[in-house]
Amino acid sequence: MIEKTIAFVKEKLRGAEAGHDWFHIERVYKNALLIAQDDTEADLLVVQLGALLHDIADSKFHDGDESIGPETARQFLSENNVEGDVIEKVVKIIENISFKGGVNREYTSRELDIVQDADRLDAIGAIGIARTFNYGGFKNRELYNPDIKPNLNMTKEEYKNSTAPTINHFYEKLLLLKDKMNTQRGKELAQQRHEFMEQFLEQFYKEWNGER
C-alpha cells in the first residue's frame, strides 16, 4: 500500500511548485519515520499514509479550498480498500496539519503529532529557508521591505491571503515553529534548524545594510 501511495503522490504532484512537490513529501515522510521510532504506540501505517498524503492538494494552490486534499486522499484510500478507521485518521491528519496562522487544530492524535512535526521540520532550517524564498518568488513577493512590518496577530484568513515580503514569513511562522513541536524528538531536531535560521537572518540584515 505504501508503494501504491508513493506512485500516486508522485503522479499527482508532477510539476508542482518546488516547495510542495514530491521531494517535500519524501522529506516529510523520512522525518516522520525518524520521529516515529520513539513512539511504540503510534500506528505506523497511519503515520506513513498521513505523511505521504498530507499535501496531496494544498489549499494554497486550489483557490483556498481546504476540502480537495482530504477528499482526494479519502477517494484514493477507499479505492485501494484501506480500512475505514485508518482512512478517517489519515483524513483528520490532512485536515489539521496546516499552520494556518497558528490557529489551534481541532483534532489530536499521536499520529498527527508525528506527521505535523515532520512537516514543520521541513519548513525550518536550510530547507525551510530555500522553500520560503522559492514560494516568495513563485508569488512575486519582495524579498524584504523595512517599511512593512511582520504581522504577529493575523487571523487565519489574513494569514492565507498575506502578500507580505518573504522575510516577514520568518517572524509570522518559521521562527514560531520550534516552540510548537509536539514530540520530544521533533523539539530536538527543530532546535538546530531554528538556530540556523537565526544565523541566516543576522547575515541577511548585515548584507542588506552594507555592514561588515
pLDDT of 99-128, one tens digit each? 764 456 678 999 999 999 999 999 999 999
Confidence of residue 176 (pLDDT cuts 50, 70, 90): very high
Residue 159: the pLDDT is 82
Mean pLDDT of 69-74: 94
User: Residue 166's pLDDT is what?
Assistant: 97
DSSP assignment of 110-152: HHHHHHHHHHHHTTSHHHHHHHHHHHHHHTT--S--TTS---T
| Full-model pTM | 0.89
In the predicted model, what is the mean pLDDT of residues 7-14? 95
Q: Which pLDDT band holds residue 60 (cuts at 50, 70, 90)? A: low
Cα–Cα distances in Å, from 95 out to 53, 54, 173, 191, 197? 11, 8, 19, 26, 28
Residue-level pLDDT at 61: 52
Whether the predicted pLDDT of 203 surpasses 90: yes
Cα–Cα distance for residue pair 160/61, rounded to 1 Å: 11
Segment 69-85 shows an average pLDDT of: 96
pLDDT of residue 102: 47
| pLDDT above 60: residue 62 | no
The yes-or-no verdict on residue 65 having pLDDT over 70 is no
Q: Residue 55 in 3-state DSSP?
A: coil
List the domain boundaries for the chain.
2-208
User: Which tens digit of pLDDT belongs to each residue from 134-159?
Assistant: 999 999 999 999 999 999 888 878 88
Q: Mean pLDDT, to the nearest integer, of 174-180?
A: 96
CB atoms within 10 A of CB 106: 8
Whether domain 2-208 has CATH 3.40.50.300 = no
Rg (CA), the chain: 17
